[in-house]
A and B are shown apart, each in its own frame.
Chain A
Amino acid sequence: MRAPVLQIDDLTIGFGSTAVVRGVSLDLHAGRVQGLAGESGSGKTVTAMSVLGLLPRTATVTGSIRLGDVDLLGLRRRSLSAVRGRRVAMVFQDPSASLHPQLTIGHQLTDHVRRHLKLDKAGARSRAVELLTRVRVPNPENALGRYPHQFSGGQRQRIAIAIALACDPEVLLADEPTTALDVTVQAGILHLLRDLAIERNLAVLLVTHDLGVMSAIADDVAVMRHGLIVESGTREQIFLEPTHEYTRALLAAMPDSAPAVRAAGADASAPDFPDEEGPS
């Protein structure tokens, strides 16, 4: 395999005296979807957010996140802005929160494009239409003049993806991109993400707790728990031959995981599983 596009090395993130990510190392390769699985509180979202410096100032972050030869953790605000949206883009769980409710989507798309790619008005507009067509938003010309609330949840997420891809980034971070969507709508978004990854040679980090989604589009999977990666490997390895107790227990809890895994996992005794915090 060629050199990784993004290398996360020994990433440790803490809030106050609590460490939420402990020594995480992960590589993203062009054209491949790297999955980061785990339950709530595992630290997977915090990991993704740290790549683009989206954590609160109170967070202490050590380790390195290298994009090519640049360490993103060492960048100052202005340099980070040049990376955000341009070389590394992100798609979030709630499309309503990532689209400005009072600006037309045409505005949101073209503004982004013009700022990073220095296109003129007409050029930006035609690029916007091109992007909307690619993400299969119906009537793209028309759509430019409409507002987010006039679209369905699935369409809004497609628009968010279009914005993310506007400047041809090398890396796409997707944090629970389909969790808020209905299952029939989710299917379409999953197809879109996988196709785009291949088409544009994107390195994709897919963060999700949904193992079904993970199994559908991830090439490699890392399982996180309490800030640590407990197991990682290819999709087949993780889903068909899991070695760590936690992974086995997770898969055993899913009614439609591979039958052999489910049977084997039924005996797996992770000491405090299901993972519920006790009363204080």
Chain B
Amino acid sequence: MIRRRRIPIPRAWLTPLAVIGVVIALAWVLIAVTAPLWIPYAPNAQVLPRLQPPGIDTLMGTDSVGRDVFSRLMTGASVTIPLALTLVAVSLTIGTTLGAVAGYFGGWVDEVLMRITDLVMAFPTVILAMVIAASLGPSLFNAVLAAIVVSWPAYARVSRSLVLSLRQQNYVIAGRLLGFSPVRSLLTDILPNIAGPVVVLATLDVGTAILLLSGLSFLGLGAQPPTAEWGSMISSAIQNFDAWWIGVFPGLAILTVVLAFNFIGDSLRDILDPVSGGAREAAAAIPVVPGQPTAREAVV
């Protein structure tokens, strides 16, 4: 049986900020994917006059070794953004799973997992990430690893508290009464229903992830030269403070991506709950009594 399902997009999804956010995010994704095809210069090619301000040949100027800032910026998108998204995805998976298990099973499992979470959260995020990245050896891969280690606890806490409240819901108990195993109950009844808030958290976390990765690269612990990564580009700008264009453009790029995901996250938070979205529409549809004007017609 083929089911035709039309899921209408509620008006609430199209707030101005959300649209801006989506447009910017999509634009950057497009840039990240297609950059190699149209950038004027190779990102690592040191062929231009050094420290040139933005001009006709070089939209965003050149850096201290004669590379085109614009080309490096566009290429950098394909480094920073996928890595940030990966970081968020992995932290989300690890953290949510651990938190859900802790919340659902309780007892000593909960105790152990939460103490580990507390332990990691007790350290200042950036400093811990720095320490881990430094001890693993400076590389982009290690920076991402370090960032994952410091990012998952937030998801664990959120997911655990969501699971604790959902665990008592009648439908979860109904599932157990129908013979669901605890694992099945967790997978089909609980996790899908915590997805909303967790996804919102993740979207808002993308900005933080970018800043963290860029920060580590800035400190020399992430992307190594000559890799074009926004954070390391900002880092190299410190030696040439007069050449403002070397640092400002990557900074602006980070700003726009972080804002874009924040707008998306805020909008998702408002609409992701199927209950409130749908119920409002259902409540507005008052059935018609024959011979009398419908509620909608009786406009006040």
Contact, chains A and B (beta carbon distance below 8 A): yes
Q: Which residue of A lies closest to B279 (CB)?
A: A280
CB neighbors of A among B271-300 (8 A) = 278, 281-287, 289-290, 292, 295-296, 298-300
Is the contact region of chain B dominated by helix, strand, or loop, or is it mixed?
loop
Contact between A14 and B299 (Cβ–Cβ < 8 Å)? yes
Q: Of the 9-residue stretches A119-127, A212-220, A271-279, which lies at the interface with chain B?
A: A271-279
What chain A residues lie within 8 Å of B282 (beta carbons)? 277, 279-280
Q: How far is the CB of A229 from chain B (nearest CB, A)?
A: 12
Contact between A18 and B287 (Cβ–Cβ < 8 Å)? no
Q: Which residue of B lies closest to A43 (CB)?
A: B295
Contact between A14 and B300 (Cβ–Cβ < 8 Å)? yes
Contact between A62 and B300 (Cβ–Cβ < 8 Å)? yes
Contact between A18 and B278 (Cβ–Cβ < 8 Å)? no
Contact between A22 and B285 (Cβ–Cβ < 8 Å)? no
Cα A228 to Cα B291 in complex, Å, equals 13
Contact between B284 and A271 (Cβ–Cβ < 8 Å)? no
A226-B300 contact, Cβ under 8 Å, with A18-B284, A277-B283:
no
Cα A19 to Cα B298 in complex, Å, equals 6
A226-B295 contact, Cβ under 8 Å, with A60-B300, A271-B290, A280-B278:
yes
CB neighbors of B among A1-35 (8 A) = 12-14, 17-20, 22
What chain B residues lie within 8 Å of A19 (beta carbons)? 295, 298-300
Tell me whether A169 is interfacial, beta carbon within 8 Å. Answer: no
CB neighbors of B among A206-251 (8 A) = 225-228
Contact between A280 and B281 (Cβ–Cβ < 8 Å)? yes
Cα A91 to Cα B278 in complex, Å, equals 32
Cα A259 to Cα B278 in complex, Å, equals 41
Number of interface residues of B (CB under 8 A): 16
Q: Which residue of A lies closest to B288 (CB)?
A: A272
Cα A62 to Cα B290 in complex, Å, equals 25
What chain A residues lie within 8 Å of B299 (beta carbons)? 14, 17, 19
Q: Which residue of A lies closest to B281 (CB)?
A: A280
Q: How far is the CB of B287 from chain A (nearest CB, A)?
A: 5
Contact between A226 and B285 (Cβ–Cβ < 8 Å)? no
Q: Which residue of B lies closest to A225 (CB)?
A: B289
Q: Contact partner of A227 among B281, B283, B287, B295, CB < 8 A?
A: B295
Q: Which residue of A lies closest to B287 (CB)?
A: A272
Number of interface residues of A (CB under 8 A): 21
Contact between B286 and A13 (Cβ–Cβ < 8 Å)? no
Q: Contact partner of B285 among A14, A62, A227, A280, CB < 8 A?
A: A280
Q: How far is the CB of A12 from chain B (nearest CB, A)?
A: 6
What chain A residues lie within 8 Å of B286 (beta carbons)? 18, 41, 226, 277
CB neighbors of B among A30-66 (8 A) = 41, 60, 62
A18-B292 contact, Cβ under 8 Å, with A226-B286, A277-B286:
no
What chain B residues lie within 8 Å of A60 (beta carbons)? 300
Q: Contact partner of B295 among A18, A271, A279, CB < 8 A?
A: A18
Q: Which residue of A lies closest to B280 (CB)?
A: A280
Contact between B300 and A13 (Cβ–Cβ < 8 Å)? yes
Cα A102 to Cα B57 in complex, Å, equals 71
Cα A14 to Cα B295 in complex, Å, equals 9
Contact digits for A75-102, partner B, Cβ 8 Å, 1 yes 0 no: 0000000000000000000000000000
What chain A residues lie within 8 Å of B278 (beta carbons)? 280
Cα A12 to Cα B298 in complex, Å, equals 10
Cα A227 to Cα B300 in complex, Å, equals 13
Q: Which residue of B lies closest to A23 (CB)?
A: B298
Contact between A228 and B281 (Cβ–Cβ < 8 Å)? no
Contacts beyond the supplied A12-B300, A225-B289: 14 A-B pairs with Cβ under 8 Å: A13-B300, A14-B299, A18-B286, A19-B298, A19-B300, A226-B289, A277-B282, A277-B283, A277-B285, A278-B285, A279-B282, A280-B281, A280-B282, A280-B285
Please list the residues of chain A having a beta carbon within 8 angstroms of any beta carbon in chain B. Answer: 12-14, 17-20, 22, 41, 60, 62, 225-228, 271-272, 277-280
Of the A-B pairs whose beta carbons lie under 8 Å apart in the complex, a sample of 13, sorted by A's number, is A14-B300, A18-B284, A18-B296, A19-B299, A22-B298, A41-B286, A226-B289, A271-B290, A272-B287, A277-B283, A277-B286, A278-B285, A280-B285
